[in-house]
Amino acid sequence: MTNTTVLAGASAPAAGPAVQQPGIYQMTAEEYHADRGSLSSTGARKLLPPSCPAIFRHEQDNPPAPKKTFDFGHAAHHLVLGDGPDIDVLDFPNYLTKAAKAARDEARDMGAVPMLRHDYEQVEAMADAIRRHPLAGPLFTPGSGVAEQSIFWTDRDTGIKRKARPDWVKQLPGLTLCVDYKTAADASPDGVSKAVQDHGYHQQAAWYLDGLEAAGMADDGSRFIFVFQMKTAPYLVTVRELDPQSLDIGRAKNRRALRVYADCQRTGTWPDWTGPVEEIPSISLPVWAALRDSEEYLSE
């Protein structure tokens, strides 16, 4: 494991699960995720519907086991961004044999990402497609930005410690770009728009821009850029920037999540979707279904 170093004049954190001082840190992903004293964008999204604080608390206490889909994303980030854990390419067609499973587990124990050779060749083709893309290629030019710095800051309104780990920060004269690279089954513009809604990526964008501003990295302005890429040939790429209204909605949802988190910390209670009730609540059809069916069936 690499030593934790800190940038921007902040003191390096003391050993332990929580980073104590705001600042910009160069640390491993494992060290970043081990910090339980700060709220991340992913955590903030877990506090709000369709999730709830009880699910957030459970996942904090029971981190998910590694998945092949996570390995694929980590490997793609490694080749595109030039940072992250090493990739251990395994010469097996699948993980069905004991030898393949043992090699996979050994790679994980060493802190590497296990990849079957045919999967690795697919990731290499994806990285090549990124480099050839007229918009994404220049954004990720090696040496033109910094990959996966860890930013920690304190929220002024709630006092909650916050953190972010941008994929790629590219500082230009008078502008800072925060570029986020995502692999997806559907990288079409409609697919990207749906993914933003389904996964709360507008919250992520606003969260990261707030982090850059708090760290003093966006004094002259900042922009958040999504780079989505399909995981199947021909590995098409869509580069998009959120419109101001979507960012405003994301930031407003983040503010609510911070208030929910602060309240849960204060009370020690992490409620489900309903919370404490004395009577059984009612439930309705989705609005679109109620409007459709009311017109057809209640107008007779």
Burial (CB < 10 A; 0-12, 13-18, 19+), residue 59, is middle
- Residue 79 maps to a domain: no
Asked whether residue 212 is assigned to any structural domain, the reply reads yes
The stretch 36-47 carries a mean pLDDT of 95
Give domain status of residue 101, yes or no.
Answer: no
Mean pLDDT of 39-49: 97
Assess if residue 44 is contained within a domain.
yes
Query: What is the domain range of residue 181?
Result: 5-71+139-267
Residue 89 inside a domain? The answer is no
Do the domain assignments include residue 223?
yes
Judge whether residue 263 has pLDDT over 50. Answer: yes
Q: Is 30 helix (H, G, I), strand (E, B) or coil?
A: helix
* pLDDT tens readout for residues 89-112: 988 898 899 998 898 989 888 888
Q: How many domains does the chain have?
A: 1
Q: How far apart are alpha carbons 128 and 229 in whole angstroms?
A: 12
Contact criterion met (CB below 8 Å) for 32 and 152: no
Question: Which of 114, 122, 117 has the alpha carbon at shortest distance from 76?
Answer: 122
Tokens 């999967």, located at residue: 119
SS3 percent helix, strand, coil of the chain, rounded to 5, is 40, 20, 40
Both tokens assigned to 104? 């996979």
Beta strands in the chain (DSSP E): 5-7, 23-26, 87-90, 113-116, 146-147, 150-154, 161-164, 168-172, 175-184, 222-230, 237-241
**pLDDT tens digits for 152-194?**
999 999 999 999 999 999 998 889 999 999 999 999 999 999 9
**DSSP one-letter string for 229-247:** EESSTT--EEEEE--HHHH
**In a domain? residue 273:** no
Can you give the pTM of this predicted structure?
0.86
Is the residue at 231 inside a domain? yes
User: Which pLDDT does position 20 carry in this prediction?
Assistant: 58
Q: How far apart are CA 137 and CA 156, in angstroms?
A: 37
**Residue 43: closest CA among 194, 268, 260:** 260
208 or 73: which carries more pLDDT confidence?
A: 208
The percentage of residues in the chain with a pLDDT greater than 70, rounded to a whole number, is 92
* Of the candidates 59, 16, 19, the residue with the CA atom closest to the CA atom of residue 149: 19
**Looking at the chain, how many residues does it have?**
300
Residue 187 sits in a domain of what CATH number? 3.90.320.10
Q: Number of H helices and number of E strands within the chain?
A: 11, 11
Q: Is the dihedral of CA 95, 97, 99, 102 positive or negative?
A: positive
